[in-house]
């Protein structure tokens, strides 16, 4: 099983700042089948990034993904109050599919 470790656990930033979220896999993720999701309280997760760096439909270009192999990053530029949420990484290359534990982004 590929364990995904997200860091930091919580990120507290001001509007306009940049957030950098990391996710490290215990083994290489094949084909860069790696995704990032945003989840707000009481809502279902929303796909932000897939294939490590492709933005999903309707996602602002403030969100970008990068990385390969075992290290992946989600960057959120020019933070807005609506970006307050928990962000999860996921690998969908290997069964069992696995999620990271999540990073909570708080907007001051």
Partner 1 sequence: QVQLVESGGGVVQPGTSLRLSCAASGFTLSSYGMHWVRQAPGKGLEWVALLRYDGENKYYADSVRGRFTISRDNSKNTLYLQMNSLRVDDTAVYYCAGGSGWLSRYWGQGILVTVSS
Contact call for residues 17 and 79 (beta carbons, < 8 A) = yes
Decide: helix, strand or coil at residue 57.
Answer: coil
Least Å distance, CB 10 to partner 1, is 14
C-beta separation of 48 from 37 below 8 A: yes
Is residue 47 near partner 1 by the rule CB under 8 A?
Answer: yes
Q: Is 35 in the site for partner 1 (CB under 8 A)?
A: yes
Considering only 93, 105, 107, 108, the residue that binds partner 1 (CB under 8 A) is: 93
Question: CB under 8 A: which stretch of 15-23, 59-67, 73-81, 88-96 binds partner 1?
Answer: 88-96
CB-CB contact of 107 with 18 (8 Å): no
CB of residue 70 vs partner 1: minimum separation in angstroms?
19
Taking the alpha carbons of 6, 22, 1, 46 in that order, is the dihedral positive or negative?
A: positive
| Minimum CB–partner distance for residue 88 and partner 1 (Å) | 6
The answer to whether the CB of 8 falls within 8 A of the CB of 100 is no
Contacts to partner 1 by CB under 8 A: 33, 35, 37, 39, 44-47, 50, 56, 86, 88, 90, 92-93, 95-102
């Amino acid at each position: 099983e590929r364990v995904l470790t997200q860091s930091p656990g919580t990120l507290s930033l001001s509007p306009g700042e940049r957030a950098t979220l990391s996710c490290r896999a215990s083994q290489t993720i094949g084909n860069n089948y790696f995704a990032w999701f945003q989840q707000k309280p009481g809502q279902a997760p929303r796909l932000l990034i897939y294939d490590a760096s492709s933005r999903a439909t309707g996602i602002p270009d403030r969100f970008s993904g990068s990385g390969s192999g075992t290290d992946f990053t989600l960057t959120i530029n020019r933070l807005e109050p609506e970006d307050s949420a928990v962000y999860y990484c996921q690998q969908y290359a290997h069964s069992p599919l696995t999620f990271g534990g999540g990073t909570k982004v708080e907007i001051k």
